[in-house]
């Protein structure tokens, strides 16, 4: 295991093993990933970027893992109205119930949907999480689309190979 990965896991270990955070594995998020997988990706890539830029990679890592800490399915209609605007506040309240957060971590979680949420972040790490979150969501969506396209084409070509009329 690379030192970078080991250092990252040391920083977020207490969060990863928390029962509430483990509960995120039950919720689909951005098509083919779970909310836990998404949050772990956001946390890790934010760690890498912030460490490279000599910023507060510890707060970024921890808040990145907690930025979507909410417990409803946002894809099947059980979400509250105005989910995009409300879920950062819900995630922050859930994170504060389980962990002691510093001001930067609170700002990161609360403003990770910027610019959709109108109040801009206070810290550069908050901007980084916001960008990394969107990058990870886009990557998850593209990964899902490529899988779907490959599945459709393979079904199509299997029918051709078997001589089935389309």
- Please write the tens of the pLDDT for every residue from 41-76: 899 999 999 999 999 999 999 999 998 887 666 555
Range of the domain at 124: 3-162
- As for how many domains the chain has, the answer is 1
The fraction of the chain above a pLDDT of 90, given in percent, is 36
- What integer is the mean pLDDT of 17-32? 76
Residue 35, pLDDT score: 82
- CA separation for the pair 22, 1 (Å, rounded): 22
Residue 112, pLDDT score: 78
pLDDT value at 140 more than 80: no
- What integer is the mean pLDDT of 75-85? 54
Categorize the per-residue pLDDT at 19 as very low, low, confident or very high, splitting at 50, 70 and 90: confident
Query: Measured between alpha carbons, how far is residue 115 from residues 6, 9, 75, 112, 159 in Å?
Result: 33, 29, 22, 9, 46
- CATH number of the domain encompassing residue 127: 1.10.3210.10
């Amino acid at each position: 295991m690379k030192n970078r990965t080991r250092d990252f896991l040391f920083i977020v270990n207490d969060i990863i093993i928390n029962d509430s955070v483990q509960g995120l594995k039950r919720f689909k998020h951005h098509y083919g990933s779970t909310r836990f997988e998404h949050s772990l990706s956001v946390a890790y890539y934010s760690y890498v970027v912030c460490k490279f830029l000599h910023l507060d990679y510890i707060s970024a890592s921890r808040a990145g893992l907690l930025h979507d800490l909410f417990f409803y399915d946002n894809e099947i209609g059980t979400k509250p109205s105005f989910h995009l605007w409300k879920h950062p506040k819900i995630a922050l309240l859930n994170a504060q119930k389980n962990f002691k957060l510093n001001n930067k971590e609170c700002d990161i979680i609360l403003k990770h949907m910027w610019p959709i949420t109108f109040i801009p972040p206070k810290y550069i790490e908050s901007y980084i999480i916001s960008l990394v979150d969107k990058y990870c969501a886009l990557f998850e969506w593209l990964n899902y689309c490529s899988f779907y396209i490959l599945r459709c084409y393979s079904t199509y070509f299997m029918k051709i190979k078997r001589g089935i009329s389309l």
